[in-house]
Structure 1
Amino acid sequence: MELQAVGQTLETDDGVQQSGALRSRLMVLTSDKGWPYSWNLKGVESTRDCYLNCEVERVWQIVKGDLTEWFSSHRGTYFTPGRHVLIGTAGIGKSMNAGSYLLYQLLHYDVEQLPMVAYFIGSQSFLFDKITKTVSLYMDDPRIEDVVNIFSLRGVKGYIIYDVALASRQPPAGLPCKGRGMIVVTPPDKNEYERWTKKMDAIEIVIDCPEENDVRAMCIWMKRNRPCRSKRDTGRR
């Protein structure tokens, strides 16, 4: 996987402003195998680029803060990591990039502290074993919820990303099981997440729509390999 910066803008942090340093406007995380949210789209080529702006990074920092607290030495044995619901922006939908970026960061998190990551999307579920460096695909039987629960009973910690890809497909009642943190990535439709949120007393995170400069940087990246047209080609004089 590669991580590249596209475009730059002034950082809002005072220390950075004083130094005159520039920060990246948009980061692009590239995977040759594509990203899970596009794996289940029939007839559609898997998306290789994952676009990351400050809003996507903000979501990861919230999850990372939970993990830091979960694995801190002063926490008791029965501490439970937070449950989160990431709600997309009206008119745009859910943030597919956030789910992919969270997966990337969780897979690169300390393997001894967080040896497993589960990713649910549509009818497919993926279980990433970071110790053996393998990934297992589950469809129906056995259910991944049962497999995850078995590892939880053995004391193996992990994190769950549940991507609401299908209408009215809320997380199963058994999730998350003991020893698991969890985040649900959903469109801004209460029918998709309200019941689970209330039951689990989950914390809602609302992701803002990308800024104009974010979209511009994204377009620049998408068009980077296109040949430039001359004025004669465009019909201009």
Structure 2
Amino acid sequence: MVAFTSCDTDAEGSKYGISGIEAAFASTQMNVEVAAEDNGIIKVPVYRGNTSVEASVSISMDKATIEKGTFTLNNSNVAFAKGEAIGYAELNFGSVDKLSATGKYEIILAINDKSTLSPAQSGEITVTAQRRLTWEDYGTGVYSSELFGQAWEQPILKAKEGNIYKLPDCITEGYPFVFTLSDDGQSLVNWDKQATGYKDATYGMVYFSPTGMQRQGNVLLFAMRGLVDAGTLFSGFTET
């Protein structure tokens, strides 16, 4: 970070006081994929321009993230030693297994005291976090769609990180389904609302969201809803 000062002694002198902390985030956006080796922590860098003294910067997290409880802020103050230009706010998510297989989490951090900001004024950052998964070939099954009245051979992928499965290009090319089963494989843990790739002429993109799952031997039956932005378009059908 560079501090620009004026050479005109008849003008205002320094563009900003050297006594300030001159703190800022690197940018307004940060995208991160997390895995088990992150040990439940996302480190968000905070920079400062004035390193001549020890300092600390007060950080807060948005109310919506606090209420959800998935992420917590380990340190509400980022401390800098003398001569240190970078510190870290730590977001704690506990275990990667607590995160959705397909979900993205947006966390907003802010520097509370605006008088400590650098002229860049990067005092707020949105951290978008998602789970990083390693997919391996699991085999081929048969997908039967009661909604569309068709069946086809369906490749299946499984994540090394857990009992998480992906059906690539299932209803439409480029639109996979991802779901998580319990450790014993007998019940559905998670299937986020996911786009099918099929667009209704009136209501647009149709999303699948199951209300439950039954397992019969090697067959999984999902009681499914077809959702659109306006609400539920289809219900009472089973995808197998």
TM value normalised by structure 2: 0.22
Which TM-score applies when normalising by structure 1?
Answer: 0.23
Larger strand share, 1 or 2 = 2
Higher relative contact order (CA 8 A, sep 6+): 1
Larger radius of gyration: 2
